[in-house]
Every structure is written in structure tokens, then in C-alpha cells.
Structure 1
Amino acid sequence: MKDYNKILVVVDPTNDKQSALARAIELASKNQAAVTVFLSIFDFSYEMTSILSGQEREAMRQGVIAQRKAWLEDILMQYQDSGVDIQSEVIWHNRPFESIILHAMEGEFDLIVKGTHQHDKLKSVIFTPTDWHLMRKAPVPVLLVKEHDWPVAGKILCAINVASEDDDHQTLNGKIIEHAQDLAKKFDAQVHLVNGYPGTPVNLAIELPDFDAHTYSETIRMQHEQRVNYLASNYGISTDYCHIKEGLPEDVIPELAEQLDAELVILGTVGRTGFSAALIGNTAEHVIDSINCDLLAIKPDGYKSPLEED
């Protein structure tokens, strides 16, 4: 994988503590990378003030932008001796996720870093959070940061999919592991692999009296274990660090992340959009709300953001 030479970090205007910025500076110092601190703001009231002329509304917008730039500069003061090249950018845009992705594409950034928090489950179905939009639509890796520190000799957990042996899945698995191993070298961490395999379908056990559920389950487990171990051996990862567990990925991954006290979970994500995506969601979207550590979401090679087609 290529290094993160250009990092775009999204700050939270409602919070003076910027965990994503701290993480981005830490990553940048390990990669000799440049950081752009990005803030997208919008206030509908400025657009709807009919008593003001267009010129006056623009002047008000610029005033708000200037205030936010000054606020950002104050925050960045603590990093002036970090040795990292830090720029800042404040723009006026009514769709934060879109402005972030477009800026990342136009600036050819290698990584988007953003703080995250627990999402309200019901609201998430109706109003997709910016985090989810980024995981679905950003063509570059997205690192969602929580409060959990990255300790020395920590653990990075790679969620891999071995249910299919097609080239696309294999390539994405390899990409996930390569990102993990690159970060592990820089932060002296261990790389672990996790895979969830499906349990025995209940209807088979009911409809087929002679069906041997235990043998079926063991066959599936062994098949997944062989594939995970083969993948691990290709990347020099010990089978001691391979975890094959029965269950859905969105359940297995958070459970193991907590058990290992992982500092980072890395998984692949596909860009589903539309109503079905809101209701079904991606594994990454379920996982991010269930873990107490950072999550790095990676797209398959050749992924094209829907924003590129607009």
C-alpha cells in the first residue's frame, strides 16, 4: 500500500477537544505526511434572510467563515511544534459529507480522518450520519476516531471475508491486511485476523429430520479456518492471531475487539446507496456503533464514488 502522504482531517465545530486531529497528527508524524484540517459549515438562516441583498448575505457568510478560521488557528497552536505541515480550510457548504469527499478527491488525499460517536439508531435510518456517507461514498480510506488511545504494542484487528474466493474479495482482503501491517510497523502493533462464519440455518434442522447440524457447522468452520489460515500464511501472520468465530460479522467483530482491547479495526466496505442501504446498512456501519476503538474503512480497488459521476 502507499503511505498516507496527504491526510484530510475533519474537525468537529461543536467540540474543542479534537480527537481526530490528534490522531491525524500522530499518523502524519510517522509518515512525514501533510495534514489539512477541514471544516464545512452552513447556516440556513443566512441563505433565507430576504431583507438582505445577495452581497450582504455573502458578507455575513464570509464573516462566519473568518470566525471559524480564527477558532481553528487557536486549536492548531498546540501543534505548531509537531514538525508536521498543517494547513486549514473552512468552506461554506450545505452537505458536509459531500464537501469532505469532493475536497478529498480534488486534493488527491490518501486518507480522511474524522471523529465519531454513538449514533441514534432510529435517527440513523431516517437521516444518515455523515460518518455513514463517508464510509459508503468516499473513494479513499476513512478513519473514524474514538477516544480510545493507540498504545504501544497494541492490536490491530482485520475483519476479512473468506465466504467467497472470487478475485475481488481476495484483493480486498489483501488490501486490508497490507494497511494493517504498514500501520503495525509504525506503531509497534500486532495484526490479528477475524472472520465470522454463518451458523446452521434453523429451517434445515426443522425440515430435514436426519440433518446433522453439528457436522454441517463443523464443515463450515473448517472451511473458513483453512481459508483464513492460508491467507494469514501468505502475509506471515501466525495462526495464533487468527480468530474464526460463528456468528454475524457485526456481532463477532465488536466482541473480539473488546476481548483483545484492539486499538483499531480495519474492514472493507462497499458503497451501497439509496433506501435499501438506509435500512440494511453495511457491516461497517453496525460495527462503528458497537466498538470502543477506531475503525478504518477501505474500499475495493477501482471503486468510483457516486460523487464522481455527478
Structure 2
Amino acid sequence: MTKYKNILVVADPAQDHQPALSRAIHLARKCENVKITLFLAIYDFSYEMTSMLSADERQAMRRGVVMQREAWLQDIIRPYVDDGFDIELIVVWHNRPYEAIIAEVFSKHHDLLIKATHDHDKIGSVIFTPTDWHLLRKCPCPVLLVKEHSWPENGKVMACVNLASEDETHDKLNDAIVEEGISFAELLNAEVNIVNAYPATPVNITIELPEFDPATYTDAVRGHHLKAMKALRHKHGLPEEQTHVLEGLPEDIIPQVAEDLDAELVILGTTGRTGLSAVFIGNTAEHTIDSLNCDLLALKPEGYISPLSPNLTDS
């Protein structure tokens, strides 16, 4: 894998331990000429509320805080820089971290974003959308959300596909997910597994249509998914034992298989849906984050345009 050459790492402001930076270093050790940018957006509302200070004084205070954080991050990256890694440091003052992060992605054309994640409060996530969710929906480049699970040699990488749709965009995204899985498996000396979930028969159909045969319907749906999986498997040259077609919701099946395989990385596609449907329904990627105990790499479909694209905001 050589395509990730310009990696943006989001620093965790709350701790010296930086799992996202560790992942970026892991990738940089495996590839050549990788540039890493460690990025932190900070904001303290109290500095904006100090009415006794002039604008210049407030600006000076903000600058002082930024310099403090820069010095702290310099200490963290120093061992890696001394080891020969190319790491740039950027600290900005911004009250919406995800906007600052995505602006940086557009500005420097980063090809991978890495950020540490943790469990979100389920209720709070609906009212206050976490930065992770904004990044999954709106970041134009692949987003790698890192948990504490290690990346061992001879591990397992899961490529999660959606075989229900026959839409060309979805087919291309499935191919991209599998190809990404194969690339990471080669890079990490791991085994790639393709996973697909198909829906169970809706209970209300069997109640409303007495002549409906749920077993026949379920067999037909499963048959369609198995046939599609076989075609995908052959296309990418993978053996049958590394494919999994299971009944259930993706947000249930994906974490279950990841745990069974002890996967180190799960790769899936996110459509970047926004608006009310995203708040109440959410994307599979978003529902899956909290249930996974390993890293998640989310890919956008080809041709995806971020709502935060400068081309859109400038017009």
C-alpha cells in the first residue's frame, strides 16, 4: 500500500497517550515517504467572555494557550522526529473542531484522517453530534477511528459490504472496500474477510399477508446475497472461507463477527447522509462505532462531495 502519503492525525487534548499518532507511525514504518500532520483545534469559551479585556489582550491570551499546547505536542512528537519521521504540528483556535479538521483536509489535500475514538453517550449523541459523527459524514477522505485494540501480525481485517443494492455507485463502493481490505491485509500481514448482512423477514408482512411464506422469502433473500458474494469473491480472488453472509442488521452483525474473528480493523462505507434522517436513523458506520472494540476505517463513495467543500461554501 503506497497511497496514504499525507496523513492528518487529530490529537487528543486530554492525554499524553496518543493512539491515533501511534497508528500513523505504524503505517509510516510500513510505507516510504509518509508525511504526518498532528492537528489540534482548541477553544475555551471563558477567553471570549472576558469583557474587561481588549480584543488585543484576548488575542494575546489565545495565542498564549495555543503556544502552550504546541510546546506540549512538541514533547510528544520529539522521539518520533528524532527517529526520522516527518511530522508537522498545527494548533488552531476554533470552536468547532470538526470544521477546523475538514478545512485542514481540504487545504493540505490529506489522503487519510486518523482520530482516536471512545464510547459516546447514546442520548447525548442525538442532541449533540460528536466530532466523530461529523467527520464520518462530511470528511472527504477516508477516516480511521482508532480504539485501544492492537494491530498484531497475522491478524484479521474485515471488509463490510452491502450486497442488497444493485446500484452502480454501491457496487463501486463495495469494490473499493474489498480492495482497501486486501491492501491493509498485505500491509499488516493479516487475513482479509468479507462480511455481508442481509435483513430478516419483516414480521408485519407475515401478519398482514397470511399466504406469505417467510421461509421461502428468507431463502430467496439469502440466495441473492450468497450469489452476489460469490461474484465479489471471485472478482477479487478470495477463498470462500474468508467470506461471511449472515442474517441480521449490519450494526449487530459487524461487531459480532469482528469479535468472533478478533479483527484488528473493520472497513465499511458511509454515505455521508445529513439532515433529520441522519439524526434519527443514522448511518451504519455511526451505529457500529460504539459496539466495535477495534479500529474502524470509513470510506466515502466515489464522487462524494463534502457539504464543507470550499467549492460549495465559496459559491
Structure 1 residues 108-154: Cα deviation after superposition (integer angstroms, max 9, x where no partner): 00000000000000000000000000000000000000000011011
1:227-242 pair list within 5 angstroms: 227-242=228-243
Contact 1:199 1:217 in 2 (8 A): yes
Aligned to 1:246: 247
Task: Give TM-score, length-normalised by structure 2.
Answer: 0.96
Contact 1:196 1:245 in 2 (8 A): yes
Residues 1:289 and 2:300 are matched in the alignment:
no
What amino acid does structure 2 have at the position aligned with 1:6?
Answer: N
Aligned to 1:16: 16
CA RMSD of aligned residues (A): 1.1
User: What secondary structure sits across from 1:88 in the alignment?
Assistant: strand
Tell me how far apart the structure 2 counterparts of residues 227 and 44 of structure 1 sit (CA, whole Å).
53
Tell me how far apart the structure 1 counterparts of residues 94 and 276 of structure 2 sit (CA, whole Å).
24
User: What secondary structure sits across from 1:80 in the alignment?
Assistant: helix
Contact 2:198 2:249 in 1 (8 A): yes
Tell me how far apart the structure 1 counterparts of residues 84 and 301 of structure 2 sit (CA, whole Å).
33
Aligned to 2:6: 6
Question: Among the aligned pairs, what percent are the same residue?
Answer: 57
Aligned to 2:160: 159
Tell me how far apart the structure 1 counterparts of residues 139 and 31 of structure 2 sit (CA, whole Å).
22
1:1-310 pair list within 5 angstroms: 3-32=3-32, 33-308=34-309, 309-310=312-313
Task: Give TM-score, length-normalised by structure 1.
Answer: 0.98
Contact 1:7 1:28 in 2 (8 A): no
Structure 1 residues 57-86: Cα deviation after superposition (integer angstroms, max 9, x where no partner): 111011000000000011112323443211
Tell me how far apart the structure 2 counterparts of residues 304 and 31 of structure 1 sit (CA, whole Å).
28
How far 1:214 sits from its partner (Å)? Answer: 1.2
How far 1:5 sits from its partner (Å)? Answer: 0.6
Tell me how far apart the structure 2 counterparts of residues 239 and 157 of structure 1 sit (CA, whole Å).
14
Tell me how far apart the structure 1 counterparts of residues 263 and 55 of structure 2 sit (CA, whole Å).
52
What amino acid does structure 1 have at the position aligned with 2:16?
Answer: D
Contact 1:29 1:83 in 2 (8 A): no
Structure 1 residues 267-298: Cα deviation after superposition (integer angstroms, max 9, x where no partner): 00011122331121110011010010000000
Contact 1:3 1:31 in 2 (8 A): no
Structure 1 residues 250-283: Cα deviation after superposition (integer angstroms, max 9, x where no partner): 1110100000000000000011122331121110
Structure 1 residues 202-238: Cα deviation after superposition (integer angstroms, max 9, x where no partner): 1221222232211211111011011011101101111
Tell me how far apart the structure 1 counterparts of residues 83 and 306 of structure 2 sit (CA, whole Å).
33
Tell me how far apart the structure 2 counterparts of residues 168 and 82 of structure 1 sit (CA, whole Å).
42
Contact 1:8 1:111 in 2 (8 A): yes
Tell me how far apart the structure 1 counterparts of residues 210 and 13 of structure 2 sit (CA, whole Å).
60
Contact 2:2 2:31 in 1 (8 A): no
Tell me how far apart the structure 2 counterparts of residues 274 and 197 of structure 1 sit (CA, whole Å).
26
What amino acid does structure 1 have at the position aligned with 2:233?
Answer: A
Structure 1 residues 5-46: Cα deviation after superposition (integer angstroms, max 9, x where no partner): 100000111011111110011112222211000000011111
Structure 1 residues 165-207: Cα deviation after superposition (integer angstroms, max 9, x where no partner): 1210000001111111111111111111111101112122122
Tell me how far apart the structure 2 counterparts of residues 82 and 132 of structure 1 sit (CA, whole Å).
34
